[in-house]
Chain A
Amino acid sequence: MLVTMQATAKETAAVFIARQINNGDYISLGTNLPVPAGGVILAQMTHAPDAKINVLSYFVNLADVESFPDLGQIANPSVARLADGIMSVEQLIYGIRRMDLCFAGGLQIDRYGNTNLIGIGNDYNNLKFRGPGSVGTSTVMANCRKFFIYSNDHSPRTLVSSCDFISAYGWGSGGADSRTRLGLPGEGPKYVITPKAIMDFDEDSKHMRLKHLLPGTTIADVIQSTGFELIVPEQLEECEPPSVNELDILRLRVDLKGYLRKN
Chain B
Amino acid sequence: MSRQQLLISLPEAAAMVKDGDSVGIGGFVTTNKPMALLREIMRLRRRDLTIIAPPSSMEVDMLLGLGLVKKLITPYLGAEAIAPLGPFHSGWAGKKFSIEETDLGTLLAGLRAHAMNLPFIPTRGLVGTSFPSLNPTLRYVEDPFGGPPLVAVPPLEMDVVLLHASQADCYGNVQYLGATFLDQMMAQAGKKVIVQVEKIVSSEEIRSHAVNTSLTCEFVDAVVLAPYGAHPMASQNHYRVDAEFLKEYVRVAKACVKGQPELFEEFVTKYFDNPVLHNDYLTLVGLDRLFSLGEEV
* Residue A93 CB within 8 A of the other chain: yes
Q: Tell me the minimal C-beta distance from B14 to chain A in angstroms.
A: 26
Most A C-beta atoms less than 10 A away, residue of B128, B147, B296: B128
In the complex, what residue of chain B is closest to A116 when comparing beta carbons? B130
CA distance A57 to B236 in the complex (A): 12
Name which residue of chain A comes closest to B181, CB basis: A89
B-chain residues with CB within 8 Å of residue A124 when the two chains form the complex: 94, 134
Contact between chains at B134 and A90 (CB < 8 Å): no
Contacts of B264 in A (CB 8 A): none
Q: Does A88 have its Cβ within 8 Å of any Cβ on chain B?
A: yes
From 49 to 103 in chain B, residues with beta carbon under 8 angstroms from any chain A beta carbon are 54-55, 74-78, 80-82, 84, 88-95, 98, 101-103
By the criterion CB–CB under 8 Å, are B123 and A89 in contact?
no
**Contact: A88 with B76, CB < 8 Å?**
no
Q: Which residues of B contact A72 (CB under 8 A)?
A: 80-81
Highest count of chain B CB atoms <10 Å: which of A72, A124, A130, A166: A130
Q: Is the CB of A166 within 8 A of B181?
A: no
Taking the complex as formed, is A77 at the interface, i.e. its CB lies under 8 A from any CB of chain B?
yes
What B residues does A88 contact at CB under 8 A? 179-185
Which one of B27-35, B191-199, B218-226, B282-290 is at the A interface? Answer: B27-35
The CA-CA distance from A56 to B150 in the complex, in Å, is: 26
How close is B230's CB to chain A, nearest CB, in angstroms?
Answer: 10
Q: Which residue of the partner chain, among A32, A77, A93, A182, contacts B127 with CB atoms under 8 Å?
A: A182
Interface residue? A23 (CB, 8 A): no
**Segment touching A, from B2-10, B104-112, B247-255:** B104-112
Chain A residues with CB under 8 Å of B130's CB are: 118, 165-167
- Interface SS, A side: loop
Contact B80–A118 (Cβ < 8 Å)? no
For residue A102, CB closer than 8 A to chain B, the reply is: no
B134 touches A118 (CB 8 A): yes
Residues of B within 8 A of A58 (CB): 179
Q: How far is the CA of A137 from the CA of B55 in the complex (A)?
A: 12
B148 beta carbon closer than 8 Å to chain A: yes
Interface residues of B in 127-159 (CB under 8 A from A): 127-131, 134, 143, 147-148, 150
Pairwise interchain contact B29-A75, C-beta atoms closer than 8 A = yes
**Bound-complex Cα distance A76 to B30 (A):** 8
Q: Which residues of B contact A57 (CB under 8 A)?
A: 28, 179-181
Separation in Å of the A191 CB from the closest CB of chain B?
20
Between B55, B103, B124, B184, the greatest number of chain A beta carbons within 10 A of the residue's beta carbon is seen for B103
Cβ contacts under 8 Å, B123 to chain A: 139
Q: Could you mark each residue 66-96 of chain A with 1 if its beta carbon is under 8 Å from any beta carbon of chain B, else 0?
A: 0001001111111010000011111001000
Contact A73 B81 (CB under 8 A): yes
Measuring CB to CB, which residues of chain B are less than 8 angstroms from any residue of chain A? 28-31, 54-55, 74-78, 80-82, 84, 88-95, 98, 101-106, 108, 112, 123-131, 134, 143, 147-148, 150, 178-185, 234-237, 240-241, 296-297
A residues with a Cβ closer than 8 A to B are: 31-32, 34, 56-58, 69, 72-78, 80, 86-90, 93, 118-119, 123-127, 129-140, 142-143, 165-169, 172, 181-185, 259
CB-defined A-B contacts under 8 Å, sample of 10: A31-B29, A77-B31, A88-B182, A88-B184, A90-B112, A130-B90, A131-B89, A135-B76, A138-B131, A184-B127
